[in-house]
Amino acid sequence: MPGARREPERTPSHGTADAPSSVALVEDDMHIRTILVAWDGSEPSSRGLALAEDLAAQYGARLLLVTVLQPTPIPAGALVPVSPFPTQEDVERTQQELKQLAKALLARGRSVETELQVGQAAEKIRELADRYDVSIIVAGRSGKGALARLVLGSVTTALLHTTTRPIAVVP
């Protein structure tokens, strides 16, 4: 009709029932096959493991649980000969802990592998991420105790600055 006002045409916007949401598009494009979980037994790493397990269930991915035992800094002028490296007892205890975690995850139907390394944590995690061609690294924001929080917080920060892989940082 001449002179009649026309309503503008409405097109569906993102997030409506008629259009795919941007989240669905991202999920369809993601190919998560292996998830590296930086595990130190802290609450943040426990929450990270829970997130990783959810992602593994959603994408059918395998989990790679990684613990890195770092050399202990020896104070300058220490008179007692102390090894900076973890003891055999530390290594065995950590291996047992990883084995128990893996057993629980396997019982819930997850595919899981474990790695225990000794060295600089960020460097070892980055090397393992490359070796296993992981899709994403899940790390806690910080670790156990005040000193560990500084050290492990710096590990997560180092990973954020040096890896080319996606990282999920869990508080």
* Tens-digit pLDDT profile for residues 44-101: 999 999 999 999 999 999 999 999 998 876 666 666 666 677 889 999 999 999 999 9
Amino acid at 21: S
4, pLDDT greater than 90: no
Q: For the chain, what are the domain ranges? A: 31-71+91-170
Fold (topology level) of 31-71+91-170: Rossmann fold (3.40.50)
21, pLDDT greater than 70: no
Contact by Cβ (8 Å): 53, 105: yes
Mean pLDDT to the nearest integer, 97-117:
97
- The set of residues, in sequence order, having a beta carbon less than 8 Å from that of 112 and lying 6+ positions away, is 62, 63, 64, 65, 101, 102, 105, 106
Token pair, residue 74, equals 């020896």
